[in-house]
Amino acid sequence: MRELGSLSQKKAKLLCALGGIAVNGVCAAGTARVREGAEITFQAEHLELMLQLGLPVAYADDDVLVLQKPPGLAVLAVPQGDASLADALEREYPGCEFVHRLDRDASGLLLVARHAEALMHLDIAMAKAEIERTFEAVVGGSIAADEQTVDLPVVASPNEADDDDDEQPSPARMTVLGRREGATHLRISTETGHSHQIRAQLKKMGHAILGDARYGDAQANEHARATFGVHRALLHSKRLQFAHPSSAVRIDVTAANEPDFARLFPQRRPR
């Protein structure tokens, strides 16, 4: 990202509406008041692509896209007919394929292959655990250990989320970024990409993600909604590292923070 340069008010509002501008590292709404000295950043080199897709773009070239998915937007088309990332890509860039997925409630970085050869290379890298994904989450309760590796098994299919017979090892490294009464802010790095892995593991630990309707605690979720306006599972795909499918150059992309995270942990800055 770079500092905001010359940008028309109309385009600035459009970028804010789709989550493409950050103020002090946090995605900003078009109505946000900006104080003197605030750092305003956006991906200037991807401005027209973002406006064309109607989506925030963190990285783009002829082989791959890295999108920053807003919370509440489905990755694939859904029966209800709601908008999805797949719809936008099919409309503007047919032939693109997702290398991995994010839950509808989750936000953050999502890797997309722009053609079949790129997809083949990235699929192989994913299977070999060579694509590093780092998430952030806000969970209920206080986690005592500053750092730990968790290897609680999870099921391979989201349709079998309560069936212990199909569980697979799923190591995850967890680091505490901050604590407050009733909540802990975590950084989580995974070596696998099983569906619902992080959500299910945190539930098993007794520290479900705040706002998670499926795996979370109803009372904690209601308190988070009433106190901080939390209306979704607080899971954010923060960082993505992978070897470029054509050049093998290591690509390292970091997402802006989301406003609902910042309301609970306002001192947090991007790293």
**What's the confidence (pLDDT) of residue 192?**
62
pTM for this model (two decimals): 0.87
Residue partners of 178: CB distance under 8 A and separation at least 6 = 184, 185, 265, 267, 268
Q: Which of 158-172, 178-192, 208-222, 231-245 has the lowest mean pLDDT?
A: 158-172
**Is residue 133 scored above 60 in pLDDT?**
yes
CA distances from 225 to 18, 60, 108, 240 (A): 23, 35, 21, 29
Mean per-residue pLDDT of the chain: 85
**Is residue 255 scored above 60 in pLDDT?**
yes
**Is residue 123 scored above 90 in pLDDT?**
yes
Confidence tier at 139 by pLDDT (50, 70, 90): very high
What DSSP character marks residue 84?
Answer: B
Q: What does the alpha-carbon distance between residue 98 and residue 104 come to, in Å, rounded to a whole number?
A: 14
Q: Which helix (H) or strand (E) holds 178?
A: strand 172-180
Domain boundaries, the chain: 1-44, 55-264
| Structure tokens belonging to residue 21 | 């501008």
Mean pLDDT, residues 58-86 taken together: 89
**What's the confidence (pLDDT) of residue 68?**
95
CB atoms within 10 A of CB 159: 10
Instruction: Give the pairing type, strands 107-113 and 235-243.
Output: parallel
**What's the confidence (pLDDT) of residue 258?**
92
CATH classification code of 55-264: 3.30.2350.10
More confident residue, 37 or 267: 37
Confidence tier at 271 by pLDDT (50, 70, 90): very low
**Is residue 268 scored above 70 in pLDDT?**
no
